[in-house]
Amino acid sequence: NAGVTQTPKFQVLKTGQSMTLQCAQDMNHEYMSWYRQDPGMGLRLIHYSVGAGITDQGEVPNGYNVSRSTTEDFPLRLLSAAPSQTSVYFCASSHRTGKSNEQYFGPGTRLTVT
Amino acid sequence: AQSVAQPEDQVNVAEGNPLTVKCTYSVSGNPYLFWYVQYPNRGLQFLLKYITGDNLVKGSYGFEAEFNKSQTSFHLKKPSALVSDSALYFCAVRDIGSGTYKYIFGTGTRLKVLA
């Protein structure tokens, strides 16, 4: 099992550019989510999905889009990058229900917007 | 609304001493509680969880946590700290009751174990 994979690991964007952060998991997890981590702010939920074709907003969704066309993939799209989106982004997945509830995290993408 | 509080930004402890990292939660219904650890420039790693059953939960690397329903707490503990335990620790609660299945994280506590 590769677990949760994220690409790229690092990215520098100019203000106004768009890009897609990729996330994939091979554990057949129904639930997937995107977080951003900023110093002193902990992890903030951007978007999440409880299954293919179903997505919903977290606490900081503005400026980001997601889609979930397959169980395995959950890409995060930045529509028009802003310096405030400079952050470390983590993708995570878990089973939706059952005893094995813990989330598995990817290694993160460090994004800088200039 | 569901929430998690980690009241300490940083905890310092001497190597070999017991450590406690505090977490309190607010949730409707039965809580699903988790602890994660993050080492520098890495993703979060799962340490342990409480779903049901014994209030004392044992996890990876010798860590344990005590679920206290009356105090709505889920403190992380270890009997004897190691320098290698120095990291950022996150408490989380899963929102099962609302049907969203979201995880809500605390702001994290940085643990420093001093040699």
pLDDT at A7: 96
Provide the mean pLDDT of chain B. Answer: 93
The residue ranking higher by pLDDT, B68 or B97, is B68
pLDDT at B68: 95
Residue A99 confidence (pLDDT) above 80: no
Residue B33 confidence (pLDDT) above 80: yes
Q: What number is the average pLDDT over the span B28-39?
A: 90
DSSP labels, chain A: ---EEEE-SEEEE-TT--EEEEEEESS--SEEEEEEEETTTEEEEEEEEEETTEEEE-S--TTEEE--SSSSB--EEESS--GGG-EEEEEEEE-SSSS----EE---EEEEE-
Q: Among all residues of chain A, which has the CA nearest to that of B105? A: A43
Which of B3, B10, B60, B101 to mutate to probe the A interface, most A CBs <10 Å?
B101
Q: Among all residues of chain B, which has the CA nearest to that of A59? A: B104
